[in-house]
Amino acid sequence: DTAVSQTPKYLVTQMGNDKSIKCEQNLGHDTMYWYKQDSKKFLKIMFSYNNKELIINETVPNRFSPKSPDKAHLNLHINSLELGDSAVYFCASSQVGRENPPLHFGNGTRLTVT
Amino acid sequence: AQSVTQPDIHITVSEGASLELRCNYSYGATPYLFWYVQSPGQGLQLLLKYFSGDTLVQGIKGFEAEFKRSQSSFNLRKPSVHWSDAAEYFCAVVISGGYNKLIFGAGTRLAVHP
């Protein structure tokens, strides 16, 4: 069984559209994350939820809205997509606590905005 | 501000040779340090972590890293590289705040010659 699964794997869409990426973890972890990896492989945290509560919200345009219906799921909805949103988005999970970094990452969703 | 620097963008080694990937951090308090590996098209996998205690930590896949406070470094090493080690390697630090906000370095791409 996949620990952290995210769908879709690839997403190609036009500017101005709204799209969602879904993430699910079956590890029983309390904390889930969204990371963005740009074309230069630079990774930056976007959001983190702990038990459905938003705990980290980086400087991300408000076109990006995470939603956590339960602690096993963290979805990412993006409104009015822009060219600069093209990147690979990774979901991850961990237990809470500084000694527990994101342990399991999904395989990423490559978003291409044309 | 907290930061992580990986001075080498790209490293090439021969199979069977030893490897050292450099990582320097900028952080006032005792850092929590991590190394991750990302294979092509995959998410990140945690190789090892350091919180306190013995400054030489062992990880998976035969990797180890040494924390040197005086040099603000946490270099990753492997005595004998295998072709399957070709990947992108990321050093990361967790900053304070109680939550797992990882700050990543820019990554080092490792190529392995047969």
Task: Give CA separation, A17 vs A39, A97, A107, in Å.
Answer: 21, 37, 24
The whole-number pLDDT of residue B101 equals 77
Q: Show pLDDT as tens, one digit a residue, over chain B (114 residues).
A: 678 999 999 999 999 999 999 999 987 777 889 999 999 888 899 999 998 888 999 999 999 999 999 999 999 999 999 999 999 999 998 876 556 678 899 999 999 998
Out of B43, B98, B106, closest to residue A106 by CB: B43
Q: Does A96 touch chain B (CB under 8 A)?
A: yes
CA angle B47, A5, A93 (to 5 degrees): 50
d(CA A1, CA A12): 27
Q: How far B33 CA sits from the closest chain A CA (Å)?
A: 9
Residues of B within 8 A of A59 (CB-CB) are: none
Mean pLDDT of A41-61: 86
Task: Verify whether the Cβ–Cβ distance B104 to A4 is below 8 Å.
Answer: no
Phi/psi of residue B72, each to 5°? Answer: 50, 45
d(CA A55, CA B53): 29
SS (H, E, C) B49-91: EECCCCCEEECHHHCEEEEEHHHCEEEEEECCCCHHHCEEEEE
- Decide: helix, strand or coil at residue B46: strand
Phi/psi of residue B71, each to 5°? Answer: -105, 0
d(CA B112, CA B114): 7
Mean pLDDT of A53-70: 88
Say what percent of chain A tops pLDDT 90.
Answer: 68
d(CA A43, CA B6): 13
Contacting residues for A59 by C-beta, under 8 A, at least 6 apart: none
d(CA B105, CA B30): 18
For residue A56, is pLDDT > 60?
Answer: yes
Q: How far B68 CA sits from the closest chain A CA (Å)?
A: 19
Residues of B within 8 A of A31 (CB-CB) are: 99-100
For residue A76, is pLDDT > 60?
Answer: yes
Tokens coding B72: 């603000």
Cβ atoms of B48 and B64 within 8 Å: the answer is yes
- Strand bridging mode A53-57 / A43-50: antiparallel
pLDDT digits over A9-45, tens only?
999 999 999 999 999 999 999 889 999 999 988 999 9
**Which one-letter amino acid corresponds to residue B61?**
K
Q: How far B58 CA sits from the closest chain A CA (Å)?
A: 16
Tokens coding A53: 């509560």
The whole-number pLDDT of residue B72 equals 93
- Decide: helix, strand or coil at residue A85: helix
Task: Verify whether the Cβ–Cβ distance B44 to A102 is below 8 Å.
Answer: yes
The total of other beta-carbon atoms located within 10 Å of residue A69's CB is 9
